Structure 1
Amino acid sequence: MYGQLSPMTEDRVTGAADPAARIAFILERQKAGWLSDPLPSREVRLDRLDRLDRMVVAWQERFCAAISADFGQRPLLLTTLTDVVPTRAAIRHARRHLKRWMARRRVSLGWTGKPASAEILRQPLGVVGIVAPWNYPLNLVLSPLTGALAAGNRAMLKPSELTPAFSEALQQAVAEFFAEDEVAVVTGGPEVAQAFTAAPFDHLIFTGSTAVGRKVAEAAARNLTPVTLELGGKSPAILDPSADIARAVPRLVWGKLLNAGQTCVAPDYALVPRERVDAFIAAVMAEVARQYPGLPDNPDYTSIISARHFERLERLVEEARDKGATVVELAGANDAVRRMFAPVLLTGAPDDAAVMREEIFGPILPVIAYDTLEEAIAYINQRDRPLALYWFGTDRAAETRVLEGTIAGGVTVNDTILHLSQDDLPFGGVGASGHGAYHGEAGFLALSKEKPVLRQSTWSGVKLLYPPYGGVTRLMLKLLGRLG
């Protein structure tokens, strides 16, 4: 329908062996396109959002099949639930609220500014670069794209090299529904990603690991490109003494084993009252058997994305075992051929074990016993600030102490993951878990410039402050000092 440059044409223009030149060429086209319409109308933005939604619908089956192929085994229903449904919900949310988001905002002035008037104009930044991860490849590339298009920007997308089938499908789908100077997809490995993040975008959104996020921030800083970093970290789940284990554990297990734990906001460890650890372990074991019977052959379970990630998870468990941790196997044996990693609990893992220092990103859950709520809060605060925090219980005073005594990117009380799916809640980390936020209006604002505009009245007293300074100026300054 719209079409991109053919690979042969693009290679002639930019040189196939030079990803930086190829990226620069597309970026130049998009900046030229933006300059031709720097403040797109609401109708233009709605049309782009409509096309994005139609693209998701038209390509849904192919997207889901490609993602399953990239993983090895990933249930189509899971991809629909976690990638397709939230993406379409974000698009509908943006369409519904776009008129209000775009509206110019009148601003009241202090008496020193009157009789002038003022407003805030929200303008698109220009061209937004979006680097997406592999774990939810559709959602985590099209959700920020929704915000970029709603704000009136053009966008270039870089999907993960670990999902090659999906990346190819995305490139074809975008070429069908968008002109290249509106939205373009750039595929390739680490060298392409490096060139992409070094390009002079007007804003860059990166979702991925903290280690890579640091490199992305350094590359963007050379161009003074503002960044939104959605990283990860070790997100705690706290079971309060007041928690109902029978109600809390199914919700915790669901959040932990969704996508086999390959979720940036998955519970990374559980803080459990010492006297309830045995009951907690028994409940988790029963719930894993209920949600995923017959592991590792359960069709609702997801493969680990690659052999390298699978082997890393095995090393985390074995190192923790060597350092004295107890490994509680919750299902059958691992299947390395299909990369099916059976879930395990760890108790007694020391702080210097890699599993206690690194984001796990897999179906391994360390359990940490605590004696007092203050001890649990202190444990969290001694570490990097997490992307998510989960608290289970009925004691509202204890809930308040946790919410006010910790800092995290987002919180779900008495469940897991769900705060991420609400478009009216900003999604973003803090410190090592990220910088900035998107989703809904937060994404619109992150990708807009709120430009203040003051209109001076014909009748203005400012001229009384013009030089040469004398008695009138001193009188005015004295008056301003008293009334300011």
Structure 2
Amino acid sequence: MVADIAYLQDQQQSINRMQQLFSAQQAAFAKDPMPDADTRVDQLKALKQVLLNHQDAFIKAINADFGRRSADETRLAEIMPSLEAIHYASKHLRRWMKPSRRKVGMAFQPARAQVVYQPLGVVGIIVPWNYPLYLAIGPLVTALAAGNRALIKMSESTPRTAEVLERMLGSVFTEEQVAVVTGEAEVGAAFSRLAFDHLLFTGATSIGRHVMRAAADNLTPVTLELGGKSPAIVSQDVPLADAAERIAFGKAVNAGQTCVAPDYILCPRDRVEPLAEALQQRFAQMYPSLRDNPDYTQIVNPRQYLRLQGYLSDANEKGARILPVNPANEDLDGTRVIAPTLLLNVNDDMTVMQDEIFGPLLPILPYDNLDAALSYIAERPRPLALYYFGYDKAEQQRLMQQTHAGGMCINDAVLHVAQDDMPFGGIGASGMGHYHGHEGFLAMSKAKGVYIKQRYNGAKPIYPPYGGTLLKLVYKLFLR
């Protein structure tokens, strides 16, 4: 009882602090609603330098939060894309900020029109646990490039990373510009209820629905980066070694705890067994051992580990053929390491085919022709990513035009997320809105149309009282 009271008091203190930070950022924005380009670039440059200075601290913190997280994966999948996002935004934001000239119709001359891109105000960023650095810094870069202030809610599952991030950001930003808050589910729910000018959430679809409901009370626009079951389609003629090495990398990085990881494979029926063999070989080459291999990330916490083990048990009970890739035949008990595991003979009654997997389990489903594969995908919620492996240009074009997904790779997996000149976002159950690059700048800006006239008023002929020669001429010219 005492512990419960202490917990609630602690969460309430976090909520109170969060509300104070939010109010302070609102007040600060009201005093400086349009930071100039130099200010924004300076902020991004400062963020870059402090991130470089703290990279070792982040590697250690993320490793501690996961229990074991590959240092190279943290560099490649968190630090490097964060720096690239900063480089890209710094280079382009002056052009993005320039008012856009628009045409004025003849009936409204003399006048001119333009679109001015204004910061929205205070942006809320809700960060998941799987990439706790990149999924904080990426949205923050977008928010700062657009001239906003940002309040960041970190996941309770990555407290050490949150501590380093708060310390790092606090060394270059005041809390009125950028601040970090932490806390459990109660704090997260209260965060979603704040009247942000924009709210960006990355996480599960089920939680995204709650976030959107909370934001709706304030008419807060949202960007939802969710997930879902992202398919990989293997064509009839692609070399299986090519497909296997790229799928294996996309699935194994971060032990599959990636929102755009290939969730399942659709493979021509007569190629399922050869593909399974090629994937097993590739996984084994990448990870010749698992238990103590620093290159192989473990599952972040016991809850996620038990969830994945439940998927395996359920699939096994319902007749799936389970092929773990454990080359050294190690005993993994007592760890949160789950071997890359292929699942054959799966069906829709299995939970592994109902929920987003978010782990190193990879079902392979047979298809008899491409139409059947496309129908299978179209009948299900639209995924965050879709992958096609095949060198036939006509088939590539068909997949681009006839499928819906948040993003797509042809002959690769997951790396589209790191392309700063492309928008990143979901569709349907996998999310809404975009960030990254120019689309992110637009999402976190108000594109305000401005119509400008000076002394001469060419609109007088349309003022009451109606009638007269000039109005008849206007009708003659424009009612046609």
Contact 1:117/1:457 (<8 A) preserved: no
1:16 and 1:383 map into 2 onto residues whose CA distance is 39
SS at match of 2:106: coil
2:57 and 2:433 map into 1 onto residues whose CA distance is 32
Q: Equivalent of 1:441, from 424, 438, 442?
A: 438
1:78 and 1:19 map into 2 onto residues whose CA distance is 31
Match of 1:284 in 2: 279
Match of 1:417 in 2: 414
Evaluate the alpha carbon distance shift between residue 206 and residue 334 of structure 1 in structure 2; reply closer, same or farther with a 3 A threshold.
Answer: farther
SS at match of 2:479: helix
1:20 and 2:15 aligned: yes
1:417-445 superposed Cα distances (whole Å, 9 cap, x missing partner): 11110100100000100110101111111
Match of 2:477 in 1: 479
Q: Equivalent of 2:186, from 188, 191, 206?
A: 191
Q: Equivalent of 1:310, from 300, 305, 312?
A: 305
Evaluate the alpha carbon distance shift between residue 329 and residue 169 of structure 1 in structure 2; reply closer, same or farther with a 3 A threshold.
Answer: same
1:173 and 2:199 aligned: no
Match of 2:6 in 1: none
SS at match of 1:407: coil
Residue 477 of structure 1 and its aligned partner are, at CA, apart by 2.8
1:113 and 1:434 map into 2 onto residues whose CA distance is 40
1:424 and 1:220 map into 2 onto residues whose CA distance is 28
Q: Equivalent of 1:254, from 249, 274, 282?
A: 249
Residue 32 of structure 1 and its aligned partner are, at CA, apart by 1.0
SS at match of 1:368: strand
1:263 and 1:238 map into 2 onto residues whose CA distance is 18
Contact 1:15/1:21 (<8 A) preserved: no
2:32 and 2:134 map into 1 onto residues whose CA distance is 28
Which stretch has the larger CA shift, 287-296 or 133-142? 287-296
Match of 2:212 in 1: 217
1:273-298 superposed Cα distances (whole Å, 9 cap, x missing partner): 00111100110111111010022332
1:455 and 1:15 map into 2 onto residues whose CA distance is 53
Unaligned runs of 5+ in 2: 1-8
Match of 1:4 in 2: none
Contact 2:108/2:458 (<8 A) preserved: no
Contact 1:427/1:437 (<8 A) preserved: yes
Match of 1:71 in 2: 66
Match of 1:10 in 2: none
Match of 2:5 in 1: none
Residue 98 of structure 1 and its aligned partner are, at CA, apart by 1.5
Evaluate the alpha carbon distance shift between residue 347 and residue 25 of structure 1 in structure 2; reply closer, same or farther with a 3 A threshold.
Answer: same
SS at match of 1:130: strand
> What is the identity, as a one-letter code, of the residue corresponding to 1:221?
A
1:376 and 2:342 aligned: no
Residue 448 of structure 1 and its aligned partner are, at CA, apart by 0.4
Evaluate the alpha carbon distance shift between residue 444 and residue 369 of structure 1 in structure 2; reply closer, same or farther with a 3 A threshold.
Answer: same
Contact 2:11/2:186 (<8 A) preserved: no
Which stretch has the larger CA shift, 151-160 or 466-475? 466-475
1:395 and 2:423 aligned: no
Which stretch has the larger CA shift, 42-51 or 80-89? 42-51
Unaligned runs of 5+ in 1: 1-13
Match of 1:346 in 2: 343
Percent identical among aligned pairs is: 48
Residue 406 of structure 1 and its aligned partner are, at CA, apart by 0.5
Residue 474 of structure 1 and its aligned partner are, at CA, apart by 4.8
> What is the identity, as a one-letter code, of the residue corresponding to 2:446?
K
SS at match of 1:81: helix
> What is the identity, as a one-letter code, of the residue corresponding to 1:309?
Q
Q: Within 5 A, what are the aligned runs for 1:39-438?
A: 39-331=34-326, 332=329, 335-438=332-435
Which stretch has the larger CA shift, 106-115 or 161-170? 106-115
2:330 and 2:377 map into 1 onto residues whose CA distance is 32
Evaluate the alpha carbon distance shift between residue 367 and residue 334 of structure 1 in structure 2; reply closer, same or farther with a 3 A threshold.
Answer: farther
Residue 16 of structure 1 and its aligned partner are, at CA, apart by 7.1
> What is the identity, as a one-letter code, of the residue corresponding to 1:211?
S
Contact 2:71/2:295 (<8 A) preserved: no
Count of residues in Structure 1 that have an aligned counterpart in Structure 2? 469
Residue 78 of structure 1 and its aligned partner are, at CA, apart by 1.1
Q: With structure 2 as the length reference, what TM-score do the two structures score?
A: 0.95
Evaluate the alpha carbon distance shift between residue 106 and residue 334 of structure 1 in structure 2; reply closer, same or farther with a 3 A threshold.
Answer: farther
Contact 2:384/2:431 (<8 A) preserved: yes
Residue 22 of structure 1 and its aligned partner are, at CA, apart by 2.0
1:77-98 superposed Cα distances (whole Å, 9 cap, x missing partner): 1101111000011001111111
1:329-374 superposed Cα distances (whole Å, 9 cap, x missing partner): 2224673422001111111211121111110000000101001100
Which stretch has the larger CA shift, 344-353 or 385-394? 344-353
2:357 and 2:331 map into 1 onto residues whose CA distance is 17
Contact 1:90/1:423 (<8 A) preserved: yes
Which stretch has the larger CA shift, 119-128 or 108-117? 108-117
Residue 471 of structure 1 and its aligned partner are, at CA, apart by 4.6
SS at match of 1:17: helix
Residue 459 of structure 1 and its aligned partner are, at CA, apart by 3.3
SS at match of 2:232: strand
1:330 and 1:118 map into 2 onto residues whose CA distance is 62
> What is the identity, as a one-letter code, of the residue corresponding to 1:188?
G
Residue 232 of structure 1 and its aligned partner are, at CA, apart by 0.3
Q: Within 5 A, what are the aligned runs for 1:24-43?
A: 24-43=19-38
1:356 and 1:113 map into 2 onto residues whose CA distance is 58
SS at match of 2:270: helix
Contact 1:256/1:266 (<8 A) preserved: yes
Match of 2:4 in 1: none
Which stretch has the larger CA shift, 344-353 or 324-333? 324-333
1:87-142 superposed Cα distances (whole Å, 9 cap, x missing partner): 01100111111110111111122222322101111100000010001111100000
> How large is the RMSD of aligned CA atoms in angstroms?
1.5
Contact 1:116/1:454 (<8 A) preserved: yes
Q: With structure 1 as the length reference, what TM-score do the two structures score?
A: 0.94
